[in-house]
Structure 1
């Protein structure tokens, strides 16, 4: 049974590293939550490593710049591993061809221009119109503030007829931007699969992003056993399922995407509401907390 805790400090001594989600845990898309920042700083002060693990469809350098603009202090984390990082490896390996159609906003162009060092000598990836493409790279809707997956049904019918694979750089279905809920690349990839197309995933809950996190920790001289890692997140289908599949303990932040299901106080989920919600999904996170603190 999942135990509700009031602070990360209650259980942090059992872990050497955190795989901590961003949206819904550390920030709301516009500003960080001070209590979450303080919790991560306190964990690092005891020698723990904080890996910010995000399904953002951009290389980590762009995520870092976004966090800087929000005012997230650098001493709250050790490294950033993004879905964009893991998906880049798939793209530059040629998993959807070398001539690709980019489905996504211009803010994600760094996904194509920031070539990882290990692929510096790889053949060029060219962005082309859909009719000339060998595959699709999806970083989200063109206009995430107004569009829904249904806006792309005609595009996907054409892509499916051409037999194109879709590389999904962000498996999240939705995120909350301030008080607004917006669709992510995962929602588009799910629709494409529903229509009979093939989608490839690299972020949480899929293995590539966790493999990348382990490699990057090892590169700093840190080898962490799965049992000493805590996966923290508000995305039940991404953060929690991904952590469980990797053999790590999990901390479900109930005050994120599913906050309205657990009572009026976002900081204090009601056990009588939380446990049936978890039972219906037949999976139990190790811990639960209203907001990361």
Structure 2
């Protein structure tokens, strides 16, 4: 069973490096979570290294600009690794003619890369950062388009493996939901973000560059997504802290607090075993 903790400083002696999720842990896309920000600032002051590890499809500078817009204190992190950062390598290895599936705000993902963004009929691969309009659309709106790509055997590069995220008080679908649908249709996906290994290798390399050395046995991953943050950490040999009041809260929330037994049942059903859990990062 996961051990419940109430303060991140309870784990100071067991972790030198914190790999912390962003969306759902530090902010909800609209507002930062002050307690989480202060917890990470305090961890850095105690000598721990904080590398933010996010499935944002944008390179890190785009995440920093969002932080500036919504007011996330830059003192809460040492470095940032995004799914967009590691996906750029997949794009370099892919066919040049790409159909870009996602909002225009994510086009910075291909800045400086030798690619041609083409219409669906001319594409040799798909690069997906999300839905065109996640405020009103769902993955089912794309079934016919994806069926056409699958019939042609095109690879689907997913720059954001998250299936959904909180935006304010709502859940909105992400590129991972489209990737799941493409797999359901029999298509090939290529993914480098959480829960896959490339983003963890890059995050640990960044931590080692900062500290001089970093041991995965003394690293803690923090996140609210069982399919990405928790499964990814465990699959890559990293201990995990589950933040309960995130995207899965409806499964075990009892009034204003988490029902511990229901939480344990949920984690068991999902086949993950984080070492720790807490309501909010604090």
TM-score with structure 1 length normalisation?
Answer: 0.93
Q: What is the aligned counterpart of 1:261 among 215, 237, 251?
A: 251
Alignment of 1:1-293 (within 5 A): 1-92=1-92, 94-95=93-94, 97-113=95-111, 115=112, 124-264=114-254, 268-293=257-282
| Corresponding pairs, count | 282
TM-score with structure 2 length normalisation?
Answer: 0.97
Verify the 8 A CA contact 1:86 1:209 in the aligned structure 2.
Answer: yes
RMSD: 1.3
- Which stretch shifts more, 273-282 or 101-110? 273-282
Give ranges in structure 1 of 5+ residues lacking alignment.
116-121
Change (3 A) 1:263 1:205: same
Give ranges in structure 2 of 5+ residues lacking alignment.
none
Deviation at residue 265 of structure 1 after TM alignment: 5.2
In structure 1, how many angstroms separate the alpha carbons of the residues matched to 2:270 and 2:17?
27
Query: Which secondary structure state, in structure 2, belongs to the residue aligned with residue 109 of structure 1?
Result: helix
In structure 2, how many angstroms separate the alpha carbons of the residues matched to 1:181 and 1:104?
17
Deviation at residue 221 of structure 1 after TM alignment: 4.8
Which whole-Å deviations, capped at 9, do the CAs of 1:160-210 have from their partners, x for residues lacking one?
Answer: 122110000011001010111111000001101100111111110000101
In structure 2, how many angstroms separate the alpha carbons of the residues matched to 1:281 and 1:180?
23
